[in-house]
Amino acid sequence: MSADLSRLQDLIDAFSRQTIVVLGDLVADEFVFGEISRVSREAPVLILRHRETQLVPGGGANAANNLADLGAKVLPVGVVGNDAAGQALVEYFRRKRVATSGILRVAGWTTPRKTRYLAGFAHTARQQVLRVDCEPDARALPAKVRAALVKKARGFTRRASAALVSDYGFGVASPAAVSAMRGKLVLLDSRFALLDYKGSGITAATPNEPEIEALHHTRIGTDTKRLEALGAQTLRAMKLEALLVTRGKDGMALFLRGRKPVHIPVYGTDQALDVTGAGDTVIAVFTLALAAGGTFTEAAHLANYAGGIVVMKRGTATVTREELVRAIQADLSGSSTK
């Protein structure tokens, strides 16, 4: 099933009129760049001459950042620690004029941080050689903080077009918090606990294929029929209106109640440059397109464009309305010359 490309452009035009709540784990993605100097005498490892360090929003913060770059008003709800990474995330959003009143500073909490070390020789592309993760204990999040998050989420959702839930397993997102947002369009990206949200009021979810495989303890591979069976099973089990499964180089599969699955081929090339944070971009565009009045199929096609664009950028990146429009116009030009 193809999408009306001119209709997709109309949806993009409506992005700036939407307000989206993002409830989720706010992660700091840190990139440390260096040049390979030599092999260490102490151990068979490379010595990197440090060039620069960049810190950008990751996880739920990346979803919020994508929404902001797409022109929406964003209301993030989450926690950070009293540490440098947490302060950097808050300052990043303030510079972008994104509201930070829903971001709680919690003493003793560690802001999740993923540090990627990228190395290369002069005038060559830098490759990731190491990743170090600093993670909080989700069980350590105080009950009063969880209650405050629920209250923030409920209050913000009253004045929002839709809500996006980004669960990376660090304790901020929960079925209780999601239930507080009932009555609104609620989209979920949950890395480890998709079925925990059954009955909590989720409208649609956007797992990737490996997450569906882990959920059902099986492997899909090239078996499209198995994918369709597992997608339909997940849709029913969670009582969703829609399930969008991202499949990397194989595109996406959209499952809807009472309809055949919609398979969407990958946009652009199947040779991704960097998939870091691509799922955050996909759910951001999917949510925003639905909030703007798009159907699930239209929203999935727009999210597919966004995913194809962002995986051709290095690091944790975002897409813009202008990039989406250019991609659609290129397809329109191509179809008009056939």
Q: Is the pLDDT of residue 186 over 60?
A: yes
d(CA 29, CA 48) in angstroms, rounded, equals: 20
Better pLDDT: 5 or 75: 75
Q: Is the pLDDT of residue 131 over 60?
A: yes
Q: Is the pLDDT of residue 338 over 60?
A: no
Query: Is 321 domain-assigned?
Result: yes
| pLDDT-derived band at 30, boundaries 50, 70, 90 | very high
The pLDDT assigned to 2 comes to 60
Number of domains the chain contains: 1
Query: Is 118 domain-assigned?
Result: no
- pLDDT tens digits, 209-256: 999 999 999 999 999 999 999 999 999 999 999 999 999 999 999 999
Query: Is 317 domain-assigned?
Result: yes
Which residue type, as a one-letter code, is found at position 94?
Answer: R
- pLDDT tens digits, 291-335: 999 999 999 999 999 999 999 998 899 999 999 999 999 887 765
The pLDDT assigned to 335 comes to 58
Q: Report how far apart, in Å, the C-alpha atoms of 60 and of each of 66, 166, 320 are.
A: 10, 5, 18
Contact present, 306 and 285 (Cβ < 8 Å): yes
Query: Is 52 domain-assigned?
Result: no
The pLDDT assigned to 294 comes to 97
Query: Is 124 domain-assigned?
Result: no
Q: Is the pLDDT of residue 122 over 80?
A: no
d(CA 122, CA 116) in angstroms, rounded, equals: 19
Q: Is the pLDDT of residue 261 over 70?
A: yes
Q: Is the pLDDT of residue 184 over 80?
A: yes
d(CA 10, CA 293) in angstroms, rounded, equals: 10
Q: Is the pLDDT of residue 336 over 90?
A: no
Q: What is the mean pLDDT of residues 178-184?
A: 90
Query: Residue 46's beta-bridge partner residues?
Result: 39
d(CA 281, CA 303) in angstroms, rounded, equals: 8
Q: Is the pLDDT of residue 1 over 60?
A: no
Q: What is the mean pLDDT of residues 127-143?
A: 92
Helix/strand/coil (H/E/C) assignment for every residue in the chain: CCCCHHHHHHHHHCHHHCEEEEEECEEEEEEEEEEEEEECCCCCCEEEEEEEEEEEEEEHHHHHHHHHHCCCEEEEEEEEECCHHHHHHHHHHHHCCCCCCCEEEECCCCCCEEEEEEEECCCCCCEEEEEEEECCCHHHCCHHHHHHHHHHHHHHHCCCCEEEEEECCCCCCCHHHHHCCCCCEEEEEECCCHHHHCCCCCCEECCEHHHHHHHHCCCCCCCHHHHHHHHHHHHHHHCCCEEEEECHHHCEEEEECCCCCEEECCCCCCCCCCCCCHHHHHHHHHHHHHHCCCCHHHHHHHHHHHHHHHCCCCCCCCCCHHHHHHHHHHHHHHHHCC
Active site residue 83: no
Mean pLDDT of the chain: 93
Query: Edge to edge, what strands does the sheet with 19-24 contain?
Result: 103-106, 73-81, 19-24, 162-167, 185-190, 204-205, 242-246, 252-256, 262-264
Query: Is 45 domain-assigned?
Result: no
Percentage, residues of the chain above pLDDT 90:
84
Q: Is the pLDDT of residue 78 over 50?
A: yes
The pLDDT assigned to 154 comes to 95
- pLDDT tens digits, 92-107: 999 999 999 999 999 9
Q: Which of 83, 137, 280, 331 is catalytic?
A: 280
Query: Is 38 domain-assigned?
Result: no
Q: What is the pairing mode between strands 252-256 and 262-264?
A: antiparallel
Contact present, 213 and 235 (Cβ < 8 Å): no
- pTM as predicted: 0.94
d(CA 67, CA 254) in angstroms, rounded, equals: 22
d(CA 268, CA 172) in angstroms, rounded, equals: 35
Q: Report how far apart, in Å, the C-alpha atoms of 273 and of each of 49, 211, 258, 307 are.
A: 24, 21, 37, 12
Nearest to 221 by CA among 201, 248, 184, 182: 248
Structural domain containing residue 101:
5-28+58-112+135-333
d(CA 265, CA 260) in angstroms, rounded, equals: 16
CATH number of the domain residue 322 falls in:
3.40.1190.20
Query: Is 262 domain-assigned?
Result: yes
